[in-house]
Structure 1
Amino acid sequence: MNFPFFIARKYFLSEKKKNFINVISIISMVVVAIGTMCLIIALSVFNGLEGLLRSMYGNFDPDIVITPSAGKSFEYDSSYVTKIKNIEGVLGASEVVEDNVLVQYKDAQRLVRMKGVSRDFDEHSGIRNVTVSGQFPLVRDSIGYALVGRGVQYDLSLSLRNDFYALQMYYPKDIGPGVVDPSRMYNSLNIMPGGIFAIEKYYDDNYIFVPVEWARDLLSYDNRLTSFEVYLAEDAGASEIKKEIQASLGDAFKVQLGEELHSDLYKVLKIEKLFVFLIMVSIIGIASINIFFSLTMLVIEKKKDISILFAQGATPKLIRKIFLYEGCIVAFTGASIGLVLGVGLTLLQEHFGIVGMGVDSSIVNSYPVEIVTSDVLFTVIAIIVITLLASIKPAIKAGNSFSTHTLQ
C-alpha cells in the first residue's frame, strides 16, 4: 500500500532530540538567505551602473551614427539627408564635422575634440539636459557660440561672464614644402563660449561643440562632413531603421547604433556581472554543503525510524522524497528570506538613496540600482539546482537503507 507522505514526514519531525542537526539546518538557512540577498543586491548594482552609463551617453550620443566606410570624411550630398529623413521614425539628422584642434583662451591652451553640429543637434540631442551653465542652442540671433566641457573650462580658466575674450581655435593646413610664414601654416577661428556641459569625465575633459559652419571653415572642409547623427522617435525600432539606412545609403557608409559605440564597455560590465553571479552562487553552493551534512546525519540518526516506516508499507521512493523535501524546505526558506531582503533593500536604495557614493563631485548622489526580473529568475533556478544537488545523495542513501536493513 502507499504510505501517506505527510504522516511519514511528521513521524520524522516529531522528535526534537537532535538539536545539533537543527542548528546546522538553521545555519544553512541563514547562509543561503544572506547569499541570496547579496546576489540580488550585487546584480542590481551592476544593472544600475549600466543604466546610468546608458543615460549619460544617451545625452551625448545619437541613436544612430553614419560614418564613411573608408577615410574620415565624405562629400556632402543633400540627397543623403532626404533619404534618411524619409524613413519612418527618424526625427532628424545632424551634419557633423569632428576633429582634434588646439584651443586657446587668454594665456592657457590645450588640445580638444571639436565637434561641429547642425541645427538638428540643437533640436533633438539630449545635450541641453546636461548644460550646467550658459545658454543653448549654439546659434542664437545668427551668432555662433561654443558649448564647452566642464573639464576644458577648468583647464582654460574660462569665464562665461567675460565678453572681452573669445576662444581661439587652431588647425594645421595641408601645405606644401617651402612655406616659412607661420601664419600660413594653420587656420584660426574665434568664437565666444556660450555654455558649459557636464556629462562624464572623458567628454567633459575633451569636447567642445560649435556650429557646423564654423567647423567647416576651420578645417577647410568646404562641402565635406565626417558623419551624420540620426535621432529617432521614442517608439521607433532602432535596429530596423539602421538596416533601412544601410540599404538606402549603400556600402559607402558604415551605420552603427549609438550604443554600439560603447559596446566594449557594456561587454566588460556584463562579464563582471557574470563573474559576480558565479562567485555568489558558489558561496550559496558552499552553504548548501551544510544541508548535505545535516541531511546525512539525519539519515544516520533515523535508520530505525526508516525501518519502521518500511515495515508499515513505505517505499524507498517515499523515503527519498521526504529527505529531498527537507532539503528544499531549508534552502527555499533561506532563499525566500534572502529574496525579500534583497529586493526590499534594493527598492529602498532606488527610492531613498540610503548608500551614497561618498564623492561630492559624483554624477549621482547614491549608488544606482535596478531590479531585473531575469536576475531574480536565474537566482531562483540556481538555488533549485544547488538544493537538488545537495539533497539528492542523502535522499538516495535514505532510500537504500531499506535494502541494508533487509540484508541485516
Structure 2
Amino acid sequence: MELLFAWRYFKSKKSTNAINIIAWISVLAIAVGTTALIVVLSVFNGFEDLVKTLYTDFYSDIKVAPAKGKFFVLDNNQLAAIKKVTGIKQLSFVVEEKAMLLNGDFQTIVSIKGVDEHFTATNNLNAHISHGKYDVGTTDKPMLVAGVGIENAVVADPGKQGLPLTLYLPDRSATSFSAENGMRSFNVDVSGAFTVQQEFDNKYAFTNLPFIQYMLDLKANEYSAIEMAVSNPDDLNKVKKNLQRTLGDNFIVRTRLEQNQSLFTVMQVEKWFIYGVLSLILLVAAFNMIGALTMLVMEKQKDITLLKAVGASDNLIQRIFLSEGFVLATVGGVIGMVLAYLICVIQLQFKLVKLQGGTFIIDYYPVKMSGWDFILVACTVFLVTIFAAWIPARKASVQAYSLKS
C-alpha cells in the first residue's frame, strides 16, 4: 500500500511546478551518479583484466624460491617429492641475477634469467616475441631473448648477429668487488626481442640455464627458483598448500597473484578510492531528494491529516514517504544502469573512446562489466535513499496537521 501511495504521488501533478522540477532533478542526479559509478568500475575491471592477462603470459602459475638467500640446492629426494604433488603440469628451473649488458658505448642493467628447455611451457612468452625468435642458445654460444626496452638501450639488432654484446655478471669467487676482479664477462648475441609491458621490457633478458650456472659458479642442481604450470587453474591454491607442506619452511611458495601482490593491491585501492569519490555524486542527489520530499510533505498536508483521521499510524505515514524516496531512487537508478550498460556495450563493440599517447598495448579503454558492480551500485543507491528520505519522512509522520485552511 505504501508503494501505491508513493507511485501515485510521483505521477500526480503538483500544485507547485517547482516540486516536479526538483523531483526530476534528483532522479537525473541519481541516474548520472549510477551511470558514472558503473562505467568507471567497468573500466577499472577492464584494466585489471588486461594486466592480469599480461602477468599470466609472463609469470608462471606457481613460483618456489628459497626463504633465505638467492640460491638453493635441490636434491633428488626434494625433486621426487615435488613431482609427487598432484596438479603440477610442468616444472622449469631458473637462475636469476643482475647483470650489465654492453654494446660499445651503450650499456644497461638487466635482470638476466637462465632458463631450461621447459620454461616456455610454464608461461606464454613466445606469444610476445615482436621480432627475431625465441632462442636462448647453448653454454658455449649463449643467446639472449631481451625486452624491447633493453634492445633499444644497447642498440641491439636480432637480425644482425655476429656483432656480439658483452654480458657482465658478478664473480662470486672474488674477494673484493671492482671493475677488474669483481665481474665476469662473456660475448652474447640477441636472438629475439619480446614486448609484454614496459616493466618487463626494460628489465628482463633470458638465456640458457647452464650458461648462467657456469658464469656464477653454481652447481648443476643449484637454482634461484622453480617455476611451475598447474593442470587446473581452479586448483592453484590447493597445489600451493600441498607444495608448501612438502617443502617446509625453507622455501616460499607463491601463486602468480602473490608474486605481484603490491600491483594488484594498488589497483584495488585506486578502484575503491574512485568509487568513494563518485559516490559523492549520489550524495549530492540526496540533497535534491531531501528538498523534493520536504516540499512534497508540505504539498500533501491534507492527505496526511486525512490518513491519520481514518486511523493511519505515524509509521505508515513514514513508510509512505520513505517509499516515495525509493521510487525516485529506483527510477533514477534503473535509468542510470541502462545507460551504463549501453555505454559499456558500445565501447566493447566499437571502441569509441581511445587512449591518448599511442604507447599502450591497446589504443582504447578496456571495459569489463561485472554483475557484482551493478549490485554494489544498487546497494549504494539504496543506502543514499534511506539517508535522504528519512528526515522528511520522519517529519511527515510526527508533525501535527489540521484540515482547517
* C-alpha contact (below 8 Å) 1:133/1:196 kept by paired residues: yes
- 2:146 match: 148
1:218 alignment partner in structure 2: 215
- Which residue of the partner structure matches residue 371 of structure 1? 369
Structure 1 residue aligned with 2:34: 36
Find the aligned partners of 1:4 and 1:207 in 2 and give their Cα distance: 65
> In structure 2, what is the Cα distance between the partners aligned to 1:110 and 1:9?
70
Give the direction of change, closer, same or farther, for the CA distance of 1:303–1:131 in structure 2 (3 Å limit). same
Q: 2:93 aligns with which of 70, 92, 95?
A: 95
Contact 2:39 2:344 in 1 (8 A): yes
Q: Does 1:189 align with 2:186?
A: yes
Q: Cα distance 1:227–1:398, how it changes in 2: closer, same or farther (>3 A)?
A: same
Assess if the C-alpha contact under 8 Å between 2:167 and 2:187 holds in 1.
yes
What do residues 363-396 of structure 1 show as CA deviations (whole Å, max 9, x unaligned)? 1111122112222111101111111221122222
How does 1:5-404 map onto structure 2 within 5 Å?
6=4, 10=8, 14-139=12-137, 144-175=142-173, 182=180, 185-223=182-220, 224-401=222-399, 403-404=400-401
Counterpart CA distance in 2 for 1:9 and 1:53 is 46
* Separation (CA, whole Å) in 1 of partners of 2:325 and 2:133: 64
**Does the Cα contact within 8 Å between 1:9 and 1:322 map onto a contact in 2?**
no
In 2, Cα distance between the equivalents of 1:251 and 1:127? Answer: 31
1:86 to 1:190, Cα distance in 2 relative to 1, 3 A: farther
CA-to-aligned-CA distance 1:1-37 (integer Å, 9 cap, x gap): xx99747964786443221000000000101100110
User: Is there any run of 5+ residues in structure 2 with no aligned partner, and where?
Assistant: none
Q: Contact between 1:12 and 1:305, CA under 8 Å: does it hold in 2?
A: no
Q: What secondary structure does 2:304 align onto?
A: helix
* Structure 1 vs Structure 2 CA RMSD: 2.8
What SS does the aligned partner of 1:113 have? strand
Q: Secondary structure at 1:128's aligned position in 2?
A: helix
Which has the higher mean CA deviation after the structures are superposed, 44-53 or 205-214? Answer: 44-53
Q: 1:155, 1:354 → 2: CA distance?
A: 35
CA deviations on 1:326-370 (whole Å, 9 max, x unpaired) are 211111111111111112212222333221111222111111221
- TM-aligned CA distance change 1:406 to 1:315, over 3 Å: farther
Q: CA deviation at 1:79?
A: 3.7
TM-score (norm 1): 0.91
Counterparts in 2 of 1:312 and 1:173: CA distance versus 1, 3 Å: closer
Structure 2: which amino acid aligns with 1:189?
F
Q: 1:178 to 1:208 in 2, by over 3 A?
A: closer
How far apart are residue 201 of structure 1 and its match? 1.1
SS at match of 1:237: helix
Kept in 2, the 8 Å contact 1:84–1:93? The answer is: no
TM-score, L = length of structure 2 = 0.91
Distance 2:287 2:177 in 1: 80
Q: Is the 8 A contact 1:85 1:91 kept in 2?
A: no
Contact 1:116 1:213 in 2 (8 A): yes
Stretch deviating more after TM superposition (316-325 or 216-225)? 316-325
Residues 144, 206 of structure 2: 8 Å contact kept: yes
Matched residues in 2 for 1:353 and 1:151: separation? 28
AA matched with 1:90: I
Per the alignment, do residues 54 and 14 of structure 1 end up closer, same or farther by CA in structure 2, a change over 3 Å counting? Answer: closer
SS at match of 2:202: helix
Residue 380 to residue 198, structure 1, CA distance change in 2 (3 Å) = same
- Which structure 1 residue ranges, 5 or more long, are not aligned? none
2:37 corresponds to which letter in structure 1?
A: L
Give the deviation of 1:269 after TM superposition.
Answer: 1.4
Distance 1:78 1:366, change over 3 A: farther
Instruction: For 1:204, give the aligned amino acid.
Output: D
How big is each residue's C-alpha offset from its partner over 1:224-252, in whole Å with a ceiling of 9 and x where there is no partner?
Answer: 21111111124441111111111111111
The alignment partner of 1:405 has SS state of coil
Deviates more, 1:285-294 or 1:172-181: 172-181
In structure 1, what residue type is equivalent to 2:196? I
Report percent identity of matched pairs: 30
